[in-house]
Amino acid sequence: MKSGDRTTIPTVSEVVRTAVAICDPDGTETAATALQEGFEDDDRPATASEDLTGELLETVRAIDPEEDAPAATAAAAAAAWLATNPDQAGAEDHVLREGTRLVFAGKPPGPLADWLTARGVET
């Protein structure tokens, strides 16, 4: 067996923390912070969850039932994408664009679409 490079599978906690850092680098969005806190002890491999996207979005809905905290929604989408693409974390706009495409089929809800546009991210 030939040895090769193997990417370490990140934990759910790690992908959520990375996604929140991308979406709320100053730590001022309380819903995004709450999302991170909700998963801070989740040491499951990010690829092991049967429905990580569903878990993330359900948590965001519980935190933000009015759906007026798009940074948290963006972080959930970014975390879902980072679960299988952890090596892309440094390409923030790419992570946001691909996470939105994955989770919302490229058609994000209004507040998230406006938030992405304000950041200069096209979906």
For residue 18, pLDDT over 50 is answered with yes
Give the tens place of pLDDT for each residue, 60-118.
Answer: 999 999 989 999 999 999 999 999 999 999 999 999 999 999 999 989 999 999 999 99
Give the tens place of pLDDT for each residue, 39-76.
Answer: 999 999 999 989 999 999 999 999 999 989 999 999 99
Rg of the chain's alpha carbons, rounded to an integer? Answer: 14
Indicate the pTM of the whole model: 0.92
Query: Which residue from 119, 123, 104, 103 is spatially nearest to 23, judged by alpha carbons?
Result: 119
- What residues does each domain of the chain span? 69-123
